[in-house]
Amino acid sequence: MQKIFTQEDIISYLYGEASPELKNSIEVALDSDFNLLEEATMLNKLKGKLSKVRFRPSSVAIESILDYSRSGQVALA
C-alpha cells in the first residue's frame, strides 16, 4: 500500500525540515510515484519563486510611522 503525503509533508521535505523517517519515505515514494514527483516539482518551483518576492510597506505606511515618530510620542526604553 502506498503512503499518502500531504502538501505540508512535501513542503517540510523541500525545506529540509522533515523527520528522517518522513524524508526517507518521501524519497522512496518519489522513485515510483509520478504524481508525487510532479507535485514535489511544482512545489519546489513555487518555493524558488517565493524566495524572490520582496515585501515593502506602502509610502502611506512609511509616512504614518515617520509622522508618529516626529510627534514626540515615542517612548524610548
pLDDT per residue over 20-34, tens digit each? 999 999 999 999 999
pLDDT for the residue numbered 42: 96
DSSP 17-28: -S-HHHHHHHHH
Could you give the percent of the chain with pLDDT greater than 90?
A: 66
Which grid coordinates are listed for 14?
523541500
Q: Could you tell me if 26 and 13 are in contact, meaning their C-beta atoms sit under 8 angstroms apart?
A: yes
Domain ranges (residues) in the chain: 7-70
Q: Could you tell me if 18 and 12 are in contact, meaning their C-beta atoms sit under 8 angstroms apart?
A: yes
